[in-house]
Structure 1
């Protein structure tokens, strides 16, 4: 039996791997450019959309960071995040732990307070559309370790708005141990830890091993290369490590959705789930990722429900909150089963 769009959209789910800057749709980019008097070289939505082209992680980042130039004020950051939370609600997202990249903005002279407070205001307002939202501050790994330390220090006065820290951007020549000190400090301040281990990078397994055993993260973003080391995968499963995979974006940067690896993680009992990554650029929000993987890998409704359950289990919600959301998944699947029999 085929899985309906209504099922993949309505299934209650958490999104734990989405970059707020990666939700900058062409329409909003053009609106913000006009609001802030910035000449971006395009004058129509179609022209902006035509610039969203790339075929690798490196070429994607070359498009991604310049696009952020239109984000200047607290209101800009609020409007970007608010638009995403509305879109996430339409995809059945009940809880979000969203990434943001302050260094991409402070390096342009934007005060970190404007970034955090704009995003935080939108996160509070997300409850109005049925989404519980929290923020993860990401360090850019192609910046210096000293810059990460300075960024964390600048952000700590606003730590009430941040649940954890992450690490993203270009992994080449930027191994996780480069940021061991700042992650240690973040943990001391009560922040949760996750790190990107992008797919098919040079030294992928070594980096995954480092983030698990030396950095001590609770989740790994992407990380599907772990299937290459069964012993390491068993260790991650025993520790309840979450894997925030992103099928559609995988297919853009490597020409491979990594469906077989994601399914292998699912069948092995790992806390793997699906996410949208940078949906404005990759053309698919989270429900589209559920549909894409289901179609490509022949998954069942029960498989998708398990992925959704995993998304709550791998979140940084309280046990009580996790139980409540997982009960929503069970109720939704039961109601759907009744309606199709």
Structure 2
């Protein structure tokens, strides 16, 4: 006799998954446990403490540190918060000589308020000499953000030159002519290039990590230029002494050796073809057998001159 279920009684689902227990499932379970144990034993960067990660970053190249900061938000925040510590350590370890040749300009906000007014005075800005001229390969500094004493203008120009010189290294290596902009004219590609270089130079003023990245580019450009000129048998000039081990070390230690001075600023890209090792702000003291770096303290002396001329 058929059974009928009243509509008033709710249905109760008593189905359940069957328990799988056989040799195959037990074997797979043991394999998964072993595999997970091996994964847990692997050292993962995300599991390392911040102090150990920071210490590791100090041994990398600047571009590797910047690439590391793009991995995730934690690494980006870590690098951003410790950019000065990492940048200073990289410069000290790899680019201590280049840093003395290419310091960063000072921010206008770092100058005393009375001197700031003198620096941005329209009369002074219009009376600045040849260093106020605009170059095709370097963007002029913003007088509202940066100090425009003579030393800071020169250091700004030198950092911009590093970036432009590095951009044209493939052309110099392969012999492809560098495109020139006719005098008195502009080109969209050139405006974009110098603007990009100016943005990175501006970042380097406040961020030592970007300063280290710029110095790393110049070290690479210098190594490539030395190799090019050493292969040119027709070039009888004295070359910088560099071995292959020096180049592979990716540090500027070999630039401490005696070599030809490089004081002339490349005012146009045509001079890149003969540029080998541009290392300004130093001269060789023969008696002591070492380089003397001249940029230290020059910014302060320039500010004193600005005040002195104003009083006149």
Query: TM-score, normalization: structure 1?
Result: 0.28
Larger Rg: 2
Q: Calculate the TM-score normalised by the size of structure 2.
A: 0.30
